[in-house]
Chain A
């Protein structure tokens, strides 16, 4: 097991409307040595925000909640100039929403349920990296660009659609090819870009500046 443990004094603000999920995820984060503060809603988080220590902190937020949803919270923080790395949690199949979150600056997204490893590596990235939209590493950027330019026109198109939040079915319809072909393009695309997940693919797109 390679679960990386938390950097010193790192804290995570956990926002989820489900009590059991808050308890479980808080326990997992605590076991990974993060200091966890839980909130049952975006509103509750915003209420406490002025008193929170934001240095060396990240936020783990559910995208689908009653009242203010994860994405709106993210937008509000951005608007208020609060620089807090955000990881969104989604239920199954909400790739579109996750992609939107990442385009708004989320570091990563996690599909529920997730393992200790997955949440740890997402948080590690959140803490180690500067915020992703900030100055990208030069050599990494040129490396990414080389991979990106090696894509076929079709793969580039599919990439664009994925980043726009389209499902395979929607891509198939837009490009007038079969969903199965879309899957093939997506596999090739991920291999060529060396992306392990859609989240990573979207992150790269943000770094490449191919998002709107």
Chain B
């Protein structure tokens, strides 16, 4: 090399932005360029002659660095290694090194040239990116709503943990497949239509709106879900579907709707029975009077013992028979309703009461009623006619809500308890309470304080509780409002959890 060549090389070495360090074969520093000085804060004068691992290398990396150094020294092929350098003020920089051995010449001893690239910032960004991806994934996987992302072609890109649970697929089975596999046939065509329309017009019927649709599980079961789709543009268009499995919700809704229907049906029957019962009693009195009067006339005629009288008496006896028939009809009507087959089975008392409350309280939130429940686990299971008992609970709860229509304080408390051989269900309100006038005839039919009331509810409730060998009572509380409660005796056939 000429002198000029050497000075040119020197200039290159000192002006290049990459750190370049030249080491002797024992690891001592021969050259430490400007970039190295900027990087570490050491001047070349401070470091020349010192071994790199004595002050620049982290303790934990010394072993690895030395072994790479040995390898470089013993071989002609360049080596690459990433390690930290400690700076003068205690910081550290991550540097990607390329090392190459240079054989000894007449001018130079053998040495190793290491050229580095400071990748500290690049690596921390990369790390942050991968951390934020992991963070995002953990959120997606923790979401109780299934999250699925797809391309605009419908190809599934990601499938969250909840998606796996809801649909019954492992994510590996669905990635890359078309999202149509998650819907029943009749939803597939709708779905295609929606996508097509959206891509063409940019108008989304499905974007940003929650929609009830039917999804298809792996086992072929259809599943009612609420679907919410949003989209974002990356280097391609991505759809994000949020899918909430509402199977349980629908089941509960259906059960409550059924309970409501049954209650209404039985309510009507019960009202009819109660009315029939009252009518039977009221009507039976004049029928008795009429039958007796006609019987009296018949007897009188017979005593006179004349042929024509006897014929007339026969007609009167026939009239008595007809009166009795009228009485029978009412009796039958009453018996029909009374003797309706009651379906007694073992039921969880709390569940029965809870369902009835839900039905009775539809709309109560809107009325500003604050409801608290206190269901004792000791209530257990009892042999009862579920619908009938629910009818009683509904009656009591509706009465309580109605009683609080005009009051500022609207608190409803429903509780169950078990004590002294019976299970008790209580309904307490903070309404106007029971007037003295009503109190005397509380459970009699046609007695009501409501403007549009029939006065049948409590009367039916009493009949039902009587039929269960229980008791029902209502009274004003010491504070505002009143309490209604019924008790059902615990029999040997009931299952009560131990105390």
* A20-B285, A31-B300, A92-B284 known; A113+B331 contact, CB < 8 A: no
Is A27 interfacial (CB 8 A cutoff)?
yes
Q: Is the CB of B303 within 8 A of A21?
A: no
CB A112 to nearest CB in B, in angstroms, measures: 4
Q: Which residue of B lies closest to A110 (CB)?
A: B288
Is B291 interfacial (CB 8 A cutoff)?
yes
* A93-B331, A112-B284, A169-B339 known; A18+B296 contact, CB < 8 A: no
Cβ proximity bits B302-334 to A, threshold 8 Å, 1 near / 0 not: 110000000001000100100110010011001
Q: Is the CB of B290 within 8 A of A24?
A: yes
**Interface size of B in residues (CB-CB distance below 8 Å):** 32
Cβ proximity bits A167-188 to B, threshold 8 Å, 1 near / 0 not: 0010000000001000000000
Q: Is the CB of B291 within 8 A of A18?
A: no
| A198→B317 CA distance, assembly (Å) | 24
CB A173 to nearest CB in B, in angstroms, measures: 8
CB A164 to nearest CB in B, in angstroms, measures: 14
* A21-B288, A25-B288 known; A30+B296 contact, CB < 8 A: yes
Q: Which residue of A lies closest to B469 (CB)?
A: A170
* A113-B327, A116-B298, A169-B339 known; A24+B292 contact, CB < 8 A: yes
Q: Is the CB of B331 within 8 A of A27?
A: no
Chain A, interface size category, equals 20 to 34
Q: Is the CB of B302 within 8 A of A3?
A: yes
Is B295 interfacial (CB 8 A cutoff)?
yes
Q: Is the CB of B298 within 8 A of A91?
A: no
CB B488 to nearest CB in A, in angstroms, measures: 14
* A1-B313, A92-B284, A113-B284 known; A21+B331 contact, CB < 8 A: no
**Which listed residue (B295, B302, B313) contacts A28, Cβ 8 A?**
B295
* A1-B302, A1-B313, A113-B284 known; A25+B339 contact, CB < 8 A: no
Contacts of A113 in B (CB 8 A): 284, 287-288, 290-292, 320, 323-324, 327
Cβ proximity bits A55-82 to B, threshold 8 Å, 1 near / 0 not: 0000000001000000000000000000
Cβ proximity bits A18-47 to B, threshold 8 Å, 1 near / 0 not: 101101110110111000000000000000
Is A115 interfacial (CB 8 A cutoff)?
yes
Q: Which residue of A lies closest to B321 (CB)?
A: A115
CB A5 to nearest CB in B, in angstroms, measures: 8
With A18-B285, A92-B280, A92-B331 already in contact, 20 other A-B pairs whose C-beta atoms are closer than 8 Å:
A1-B317, A3-B299, A20-B289, A21-B289, A21-B292, A24-B290, A24-B291, A25-B292, A27-B292, A31-B295, A31-B298, A31-B299, A32-B299, A91-B280, A112-B284, A112-B288, A113-B284, A114-B288, A115-B317, A116-B299
Selected A-B contacts with CB under 8 Å, 13 pairs = A5-B303, A18-B285, A20-B286, A20-B289, A21-B288, A21-B289, A23-B289, A25-B289, A91-B284, A92-B280, A92-B331, A112-B288, A114-B291
